[in-house]
Amino acid sequence: MSKELILINGRVYDPKNKLDGETMDIHIADGKIVEKVSEKAKKIDLKGRMVMAGGVDMHSHIVGSKLGFGRMMCPEDHRKDPVPKTKVTRSGVGYTMPNSYVIGYRYSAMGYTTVIEPALPALKGLGSWEELEDLPNLDSGLLPLFGNSMITYHYLEEKDISGLAGFIAWILRKVGGLGVKVVNPGGTYAWAHGMNVRELDTTVPDWDLTPRDIMRGICQATEELGLPHPMHLHPNNLGKIGNIDTTIAQLDAFKDIKGYKGRKQIAHLTHISFESLDMIEEGTPEWKDVASGGLKLAEYMNKNKHFTADMGQVTFGPATTMTGDGPFQFSLYQMTKAKWANIAVDVEMPGGAGVVPYFFDPKSPANAVQWSIPLEFALSVDDVWRVIMSTDHPNAGPFTKYPLVLSWLMSKKQRDIWMEKIHKFATERSTLAGIDREWSIYEVAISTRAAPAKILGLDDVKGHLGVGADADIAVFNLDPTKKNLADDPELIIKTFGQSYLTFMRGEQVAKKGVIGKTPHGKIWTVHPELNEPLWERMNKELEDMMTRWYAHSFHNYPVPDRYREHMEQKVVLDSTAISA
């Protein structure tokens, strides 16, 4: 007999299946949501409590060498938040950079069941898989970096999109990736020369290529492969005043590329709080003249359907910035005079990543404007299915502040309270104060569940509660028919800060914030199948290039199956139509 369960009398919010607070029962068997179960199934009466699919976070830095560097650099971060062991859980540390176990526990306690690591130097794949071994209660996936790789540039310079697609397929298969990440295209490579690349058509050192060429080529290769998740893009000029114009220009640069099987969205734009800085009229690109570009980006999104975006919401207080954008991290270090690490990664990302601890001060004019940008954007976009709630953990703040972010999105009252606390630039240099819109519970379910699952290409089994979905379920201790959340922002924080029950594949893993079980999740990967001539060509050419250019051996580059096969959930793709 299969393990069966019925959750009865829950108020279900499931946008994929157009359920907006309907009272219904959910049937579970063998870790899946099913149409019906036997009379012997265990029943749990939810008594009108709010029910959603398990949360899906598509952009949160949870594993990788940058996390290790950050934890090593900042022992003070750990001292502020020790986590004792329990009968079920291990001890650890928290704050802005929790250890792997605590990451799993805290996401689970908030009702999240799937979290994606959005920036993997492929060369560091093995270490990341070892970390994933210690990440309980979550499904996950990895997005390898391609925008500053010499091999990427080789194929682009040769105008060989088939070769680039083959290289991407080889990396995804050999290190276990879910999609393609592009960070500061050309700029991180230029950082190896002590430079950056600021303009769309500036040539990258050593190569006859520009950021435009890099983005277009990688986007085209991603679509030709038919990857479920489109190109995940961190544009040039991160953190530079006026970079909203760069961001829009870069989005414009590839919008004519045909999506796989006609799909509209061919890119996902990351952490817009750092990518949408504008300046006052007749201002200069200096922090004293900073203004929000959130509305400008929203207006562009409303007119252009080819991309989605996540917020990267500034939450104020301590953060730890970490990104593959090496030159930006150095400039942040120069501003803060705080700690700084630059992480060079062989020749696949020669300029390296960076780690800089940071404090977002509510009284800082610049930080106040940064806070307003993603809220102004999210509350001005017509289609919430294209807007993902995030803090770019731990860059703009830890993921544990998601309930606070939701209170800002759902309550005009809460935004007004905060605008009284923070620097006046948030009011004077954005339109946020004049926006009355408040997200509904249904829209929250879209942005934190249904939409990220769809954008990642996992929506068959994640982000919804329909038959066939994984039984990843979050129950919240609130009857939404009895409370107006917009009038009680503290109740929003309390409700979303701790789920009443969290289920992962039908197994109850948390109750009232207390972790009861610690099962291991699955690591989602894509496995593009190439035609035999192209696959043979890739192995031959990549071995030759890695032998000439890499310090790391071609044969030691792949992550061995023994580290992956017990966790890996492969999505096999037919990419055999790509010519050799």
Tokens found for residue 335: 């501003």
pLDDT, tens digit, for every residue of 376-426?
999 999 999 999 999 999 999 999 999 999 999 999 999 999 999 999 999
Q: Has residue 261 got a pLDDT over 50?
A: yes
Percent of the chain with pLDDT over 90: 95
The three-point CA angle 342-343-345 to 5° equals 145
Please give the mean pLDDT across all residues of the chain: 96
Cβ contacts of residue 232 below 8 Å, gap of 6+? 59, 118, 143, 179, 180, 181, 182, 267, 268, 270
Residues in the chain: 580
pLDDT, tens digit, for every residue of 541-575?
999 999 999 888 899 999 999 999 999 999 999 99
pLDDT, tens digit, for every residue of 245-257?
999 999 999 999 9
Q: Has residue 349 got a pLDDT over 80?
A: no
Nearest to 374 by CA among 480, 274, 484: 274
Tokens found for residue 546: 């890695």
Distance of CA 47 to the CA centre of its chain: 34
Helix H, strand E, coil C: the string for 170-189 is HHHHHHCCCCCEEECCCHHH
Whole-angstrom Cα distance, residue 467 to residue 36?
9
Residue 365 has a pLDDT of 97
For 39, the 3-state DSSP assignment is: coil
The three-point CA angle 141-327-253 to 5° equals 70
The DSSP call for residue 258 is P
- For strands 341-345 and 349-360, give the pairing: antiparallel
pLDDT, tens digit, for every residue of 122-137?
999 999 999 999 999 9
Angstrom distances, CA of residue 556 to CA of 123, 168, 219, 543, 552: 10, 17, 28, 11, 7
Nearest to 216 by CA among 166, 159, 141: 159
Q: Has residue 1 got a pLDDT over 80?
A: no
Residue 2 has a pLDDT of 62
Band of pLDDT at residue 430, cut at 50, 70 and 90: very high
Q: Has residue 41 got a pLDDT over 50?
A: yes
Distance of CA 150 to the CA centre of its chain: 25
Residue 345 has a pLDDT of 82
Phi, psi of 34 (to 5 degrees): -125, 170
pLDDT, tens digit, for every residue of 282-327?
999 999 999 999 999 999 999 999 999 999 999 999 999 999 999 9
pLDDT, tens digit, for every residue of 184-235?
999 999 999 999 999 999 999 999 999 999 999 999 999 999 999 999 999 9
Count the neighbouring beta carbons within 10 Å of the beta carbon of residue 365. 18
Band of pLDDT at residue 343, cut at 50, 70 and 90: confident
Would you say 111 and 55 are in contact if contact means Cβ atoms under 8 Å apart? yes
**Least confident residue range of 129-133, 339-343, 370-374:** 339-343
Whole-angstrom Cα distance, residue 59 to residue 116?
6
The three-point CA angle 555-558-563 to 5° equals 125
**Least confident residue range of 1-15, 51-65, 264-278, 525-539:** 1-15
* Structural element, H or E, at residue 164: helix 161-175
Whole-angstrom Cα distance, residue 501 to residue 510?
6
Helix H, strand E, coil C: the string for 316-385 is CEEEEEEECCHHHHHHHHHHHCCCCEEEEECCCEEEEEEEEEEEECCCCHHHHHHHHHHHHHHCCCCCHH
Cβ contacts of residue 164 below 8 Å, gap of 6+? 152, 155, 156, 217, 218, 221
Nearest to 474 by CA among 439, 515, 511, 514: 511
Count the neighbouring beta carbons within 10 Å of the beta carbon of residue 440. 18
* Structural element, H or E, at residue 507: strand 507-511
